[in-house]
Structure 1
């Protein structure tokens, strides 16, 4: 049976590097990248990420139908759930000033449907997946409604994914600790 691994931590804590190290020396990896390039800074960040990965790894970019990233390879990295969540959240709520509990459930259900479909397809081939996410609940309560809703949604999503995972790691200051 393959592994389902969740890697969490704060911004710039070393999560992605640790996630990638779990497949160190493995050539057959599909990297599912969820970032959208909106400006020059994001373009540079994405380019740095691409250059840091082994050239043999396949990159799949997207936020919907991510199960389509599953090909004839056994190893997958989804980086990152936090960006994935914000992209889908903004797609669904772009015209909302106040995001109702019903809309929040719609966002969560959409995200979990995508992730569950991906995990199920990887399980079907006895593959492995490492998912990266941010822990956003350690700071102060955000001042604005949108930020509070986002924090709450990603917190609930992370809990659901952790329950599905066989291993969970918390990365702090570049130091990973297995917590499940």
Structure 2
């Protein structure tokens, strides 16, 4: 069984950089499974920034929708980095997909994968209650997806201002 890690945190908290370092430590020839799509110039710039930071050592797979298939198809010896679950969730919600069922399938598949996988996700529930129904639905869905995947992962980290805090496998109170 490959190791599975979830890294969460707020915007620009250092989650992706931490995920890249951890993934590189899990083996050679890492695979970056990108869920973002460059729908505008600002997003294209963000994607370019991530690509420049990673460098040429990474093999990039662009998979904005069928994440489970990407994990299965890339399952060999190379560690994988999925960046990020919240963008994948956005894609699935806008497609009208059963995102909760898909997240549960991913969680069920993790113990059977051979190569390590590191997931990046956003912690979006720490602010005020959004004023519109779509934003509230997304916030709630992101919280559910994060819980589903975190429960299946071996380790979970929260990043705050560039510093990671390991929250799993620490003891969890009932």
3-state SS of 1:112 partner:
helix
- State the alpha-carbon separation in 2 of the partners of residues 72 and 170 from structure 1: 28
Residue aligned with 1:140, SS: coil
For residue 57 of structure 1, report the CA deviation from its aligned partner: 1.2
Unaligned runs of 5+ in 1: 94-105
Q: Secondary structure at the match of 1:8?
A: strand
Q: Is the 8 A contact 2:65 2:91 kept in 1?
A: no
1:50 is aligned to 2:41: no
Moved more, 151-160 or 18-27: 18-27
1:22 to 2:10 alignment = no
1:73 pairs, out of 62, 73, 77, with: 77
Q: Distance in 1 between matches of 2:150 and 2:29?
A: 25
- 2:110 counterpart (89, 112, 119): 119
Per the TM alignment, residue 62 of structure 1 is displaced from its structure 2 partner at its CA by 1.2
Aligned length: 164
Per-residue deviation at 1:111? 3.9
Equivalent residues in 2 for 1:73-112 (5 A)?
73-92=77-96, 106-112=98-104
**Distance in 2 of aligned mates of 1:167 and 1:71:** 19
Gaps of 5+ in 2: 169-174
Q: Which residue of 2 aligns with 1:31?
A: 32
User: What TM-score, normalized by structure 2, do the two folds share?
Assistant: 0.86
Contact 2:28 2:79 in 1 (8 A): no
Once residues 107 and 78 of structure 2 are traced to their aligned partners in structure 1, the CA distance between those partners, rounded to angstroms, is 17
Please give the alpha-carbon distance, in whole angstroms, between the structure 2 residues aligned to 1:71 and 1:17: 22
Is the 2:6–2:118 Cα contact (8 Å) retained in structure 1? yes
| Residue 6 (structure 2) pairs with residue 2 (structure 1) | no
Aligned equivalents of 1:89 and 1:147: distance in 2?
Answer: 12
Task: Give the alignment's Cα RMSD to 1 decimal.
Answer: 1.9
For residues 166 and 4 of structure 2, what CA distance do their matches in structure 1 show?
Answer: 13
Of 123, 135, 147 in structure 2, the residue corresponding to residue 159 of structure 1 is 147
> What is the TM-score normalised by the length of structure 1?
0.83
C-alpha contact 1:9 1:172 (8 A) present in aligned 2: yes
Distance, in Å, in 1 between the alignment partners of 2:34 and 2:109 is 13
